Amino acid sequence: MVYMTLLIKNVRILGGAREFPEACDVFVNGDRISAIGNFPKKPADEVLDGQGAYLSPGFIDVNTSSDHYLTLFEYPSQEDFLRQGITTTIAGMCGASLAPLMYGQLESLRKWGAIDRVNVNWHTMTEFLQALDKRPLGVNFGTLVGHATIRRAIVGDTIRDLTKNELQVFKHTLREALDQGGLGLSSGLGYVHAHKTPYAELKALVDIVREKGGVYATHLRDSEAGVVDSVEETIKLARETGAKTLISHFAPHIGFTAQYQKAFEAIESLPPDINLRFDTYPSAFTMMPIYTFLPTWAQDGGFAAMRSHIQDEWMAAKITKDMPKLDEENIILAQAPIGSEFLVGRSLRAVREIYNVSDPREALLRLMIVCDMKGAVLYKNLDDQLIKKFMAGSRSFIASNAPSFGFAKDRRLKSERTTRTFTKFLSFIESEQPYALTDAIRKITLEPAQFFGLQDRGEIKEGNIADLTCFRGEDVKFTVVNGAVAMQDREYKGTLSGKALRRSAKK
């Protein structure tokens, strides 16, 4: 193997293992940082001039969904992430992962994308990660094990408790997937197929996660009026199991800010021995599968049942009555299947006018039918000021909670979560200064690397992996992934140097 060398000159290092001079050079040999200092005459295969900008470890996005939307395969460069300095992505969130697949099926991903677009040639976590090893990747990719992915393989779309034998099968499958490199377990308790999962089942599974040194991440059972109870349930689970725990996309919904403030205070006041974090993002818009606007009772039974419900005149009237009032200006179709892509970018109000109906809820049902239940919308439903408070919290991580999409022939509308989550976060830190920039960098590099057990990443020091980001303000000058320059001056370099990451054995 031929190793390339890279010399990065004239940068100010943030996120280093020790203090460095104001102006430094970093020498990279292969995929590792070889030396840090001043090297005016050191030869290298490639030289980059940072021109006095900051150089930090590559940003780690702890909650991404390119696996859910299957853009990991369609657009392996994952340029949206590279452009904002992200070098490592964590996926398999909200109960749905690409592995393990007991029967080689991706049913748990149907709410996000067309699962027939991927040729699945794996079952186990080992087989999946080996398949990724053979595919080009623009960023590093690690995955948790999806609770719904395993559960639905065992019981299908039936909503019921597991039998004792089924739980044993689940535990064996989970333990095997973690031993094969899975970073932990995720649950999507807010989704219909997992909403009634008993606490005892979760505890039995999370005990295994703690035993293996992994992370348990959860989409709360209730993200609105019951958010306090949902957070307290998660805290109880973290306390009783001792597992590292992450509350996914903890973002304050408008109309429930008092509940979110109370839940946030409960998290922030936890003792240090409870390793519970949450991720959030600097955007007031949420991307949601379109069917999630249906009342919970109408989501039972899968897409076919939901489609039948909203096409039945009597049922549609009942559904419309049980749906909440909708802000039609701030619901925008972001993704649609072939045949309905002409509606992408239109607000619900525009859709209502196209179909000549008076009620926004009826217009949304029409949109579900046109999109065959498979569309996704951007919904402005979050409180901006409380988001800032969450980002400034001591237990927050920053995450896009989004996929990276391609730049051509797309039938999708990109949100700022996809394109500028991390640069907008850094802009917030520099403008409002809730804490030092060095602490902000730790929050998006070293701390998540330690939380997920990513060895030799998240810190600039000799011997560590050369995942690096050079930036000034919101301008990312270049991004380096495993020692290779992937993005420079907003130009993608065609580099696919990302790797499939595996959980390290517990020490």
Q: Work out the percent of the chain whose per-residue pLDDT is above 90.
A: 75
373: pLDDT confidence band, cut at 50, 70 and 90?
A: confident
Same structural domain, 339 and 202:
no
154 and 100 assigned to the same domain? yes
Would you place residue 407 in the very low, low, confident or very high pLDDT band (cuts 50, 70, 90)?
A: low
CB contact set of 326 (below 8 Å; sequence gap of 6+): 293, 348, 360, 361, 364
Among candidate residues 344, 379, 414, the one where a domain is terminated: 379
For residue 135, what are the contacts with CB-CB under 8 A and spacing of at least 6?
73, 76
- For 124-141, b/e burial (b = at least 16 CB within 10 A) is bbbbbbebbeeeebbbbb
Candidates 61, 56, 19, 187; CA nearest to 480 is 56
* pLDDT attached to residue 213: 97
Judge if 294 and 279 occupy the same domain.
no
Q: What is the CATH number of the domain that holds 277?
A: 3.20.20.140
| Lowest-confidence region among 367-371, 436-440, 442-446, 455-459 | 367-371
CA nearest to 503, candidates 138, 21, 141, 142: 142
Residues 94 and 236 in one domain: yes
For residue 504, is it within any domain? no
Mean pLDDT of 376-403: 94
Q: Which residues contact 4 (CB under 8 A, 6 or more apart)?
A: 30, 45, 46, 483, 484
Residue 409 confidence (pLDDT):
45
Q: What is the pLDDT of residues 74-86, one digit of tens each?
A: 899 999 999 999 9
Domain boundary among the residues 318, 348, 379 is at: 379
Q: In what order do the strands lie in the sheet with 244-247?
A: 145-146, 184-188, 215-219, 244-247, 276-280, 396-398
- Residue 24: both structure tokens together: 């430094």
Q: Which of 379, 411, 433 is the last residue of a domain?
A: 379
Half-sphere exposure of 194 (CA within 13 A, CB side): 26
Are 137 and 263 in the same domain?
A: yes
pLDDT of residue 507: 41
Position 157 scores a pLDDT of 82
Residue 501 maps to a domain = no
The confidence band for 286, taking pLDDT boundaries of 50, 70 and 90, is: confident
**Does residue 223 sit in the same domain as residue 275?**
yes
505 belongs to a structural domain: no
pLDDT of 336 reads: 82
Show the domain range for 112.
59-284+385-451
Within a domain: residue 36? Answer: yes
* Domain membership flag for residue 394: yes
- Number of domains present in the structure of the chain: 3
- Residue 447 belongs to some domain of the structure: yes
Residues 128 and 227 grouped into a single domain: yes
Pick the closest to residue 333 from 301, 293, 296 (CA basis).
293
CATH of the domain at 484: 2.30.40.10
* Number of DSSP helices (H) and strands (E) in the chain, helices first: 16, 21
Q: Are strands 5-13 and 46-49 parallel, antiparallel or unpaired?
A: parallel
Same domain, 214 and 90: yes
What value does the mean pLDDT take over residues 218-223?
96
The CA R_g of the chain, rounded to the nearest whole Å, is 23
For residues 64 and 29, membership in a common domain is answered with no
Dig out the tokens for 329 from the structure.
Answer: 């200006």
With a cut of 70, say whether residue 114 has pLDDT above it.
no
User: Can you give the pLDDT at residue 1?
Assistant: 47
In a domain, 72, yes or no: yes
In a domain, 500, yes or no: no
Specify whether the CB–CB gap between 436 and 447 falls below 8 A: no
Name the packing angle between helices 384-391 and 257-268 (round to 10°).
10
Which two three-digit tokens encode residue 100? 């393990």
Q: Please say if the pLDDT value at position 90 is more than 70.
A: yes
Nearest to 420 by CA among 289, 321, 285, 328: 285
Q: Which of 266, 433, 411, 260 is nearest to 346 (CA)?
A: 411
139 with 256, same domain: the answer is: yes
Average pLDDT score, the chain: 92
**Residue 414 and residue 277 in one domain:** yes
According to DSSP H, which parts of 120-198 are helical? 125-133, 147-155, 164-179
Going from the C-alpha of 16 to that of each of 40, 195, 383, 438, 458, the distances in angstroms are 21, 43, 34, 9, 9
Q: Could you tell me if 138 and 214 lie in one domain?
A: yes
What pLDDT is stored for residue 282 in this prediction?
Answer: 95
Say if CB 375 and CB 335 are below 8 A apart: yes
pLDDT at 116 over 80: no
Please state which of the ranges 21-35, 147-161, 401-415, 434-448 shows the lowest mean pLDDT.
401-415
Q: pLDDT tens digit string along 423-439? A: 999 999 999 999 999 99
Indicate the pTM of the whole model: 0.89
* 37-88: pLDDT as tens digits: 999 989 999 999 999 999 999 999 999 999 998 899 989 999 999 999 999 9
Q: For strands 475-481 and 484-488, give the pairing.
A: antiparallel
